[in-house]
Amino acid sequence: MSNPAVRATPIASLASAPLPPAAPAPAVEVRGFDRRFGDVVVLQGLDLRIEQGEFVALLGRSGSGKTTLLRTLAGLDPAEGQSVRTPSARAVVFQEPRLLPWKRVWRNVTLGLAGGDAKARAEAALAEVGLEHRATVWPSTLSGGEAQRVALARALVREPRLLLLDEPFASLDALTRIRMHDLVLSLWRRHAPAVLIVTHDVDEAIALADRVLVLDGGRIAAEERIDLPRPREVGAGFQAVRRRLLGALGVDPAPHGEHRAAAPSVAPFPVREVSP
């Protein structure tokens, strides 16, 4: 005997019920990636996933394959027959600005850019990095920090969905690096690309990223999600994350409250974000 309190759902109602929204595809997805140069295996069986709008930092010893991975994601090195998915709209900022000295600043920003509005777009990008007043000068007149901001404008003018940063602040002095951190965070919040920054600097990685990965033995050997609120002060939480990452890199963390002279550091004060 049927229970009158139980009502069957008609098949037509089930068919018309809305489906839950599909999860957005990641900005980057790499599966089982291998890279070797002759007999030297650099990357082996590497898996990597970066969500849309996520800021990820990649740490590793020299020669661990960080730049090799970044070049593959940028499309600069081939990956035929392997599972590497990236957005077509992507841009790279290298350690050196790589500006053409015979082209004025705005023309460096528009390199390879199509369309009749290229100059206006370059000027808008330069304004975002605070260099609209330097648009018509020669690259030789720029400071190191200004040249790197031009390189950043050249990347942003392409409206990338994936921004790749290959140790872009390594050659800058400490104060300029802090200002560049502020600028990158501000631009990331405004444009929301996925970002992968390659760095040797543990403090820089913690200050900037949502997630820090350690590359070792050709694979992602450690992962640390950074849940600290921004701006990130070098307090107890920061130091705890720092010790874990240094341990993953094979460096003995200093005792609590001490700093190792050999360990990389950005600055002993907060990294501030600039509001858009």
Which CATH number belongs to the domain containing residue 54 in this structure? 3.40.50.300
Residue 41: name the closest of 215, 206, 209, 217 by CA.
Answer: 217
Query: What's the rounded Cα separation, in Å, for the pair 67 and 48?
Result: 14
Average pLDDT over residues 239-253: 91
pLDDT at 269: 39
Residue 126 lies in a domain: no
Q: What tens digit of pLDDT does each residue of 102-141 get?
A: 999 999 999 988 878 999 999 999 999 999 999 999 999 9
In a domain, 14, yes or no: no
Task: Decide if 207 is inside a domain.
Answer: yes
- Structural domains counted in the chain: 1
Model confidence, pTM: 0.83
- With cut-offs at 50, 70 and 90, classify the pLDDT of residue 212: very high
Could you tell me the residue range of the domain that residue 63 belongs to? 25-73+190-256
**180 part of a folded domain:** no
Look at residue 123 and tell me if it is in a domain.
no
Q: Is 275 left (phi over 0), alpha (psi -120 to 50) or beta?
A: beta
Q: How confident is the model at residue 60 (pLDDT cuts 50, 70, 90)?
A: very high
End-to-end C-alpha distance for the chain, whole angstroms: 67
Q: Is position 219 within any domain?
A: yes
* In-domain check, residue 117: no
pLDDT at 272: 47
* Residue 57 · residue 204 · CB < 8 Å: yes
Output phi, psi for 253, to 5 deg: -65, 145
Cα(213)–Cα(219) distance, integer angstroms: 10
* Residue 184 forms part of a structural domain: no
Given pLDDT bands bounded at 50, 70 and 90, which one contains residue 31? very high
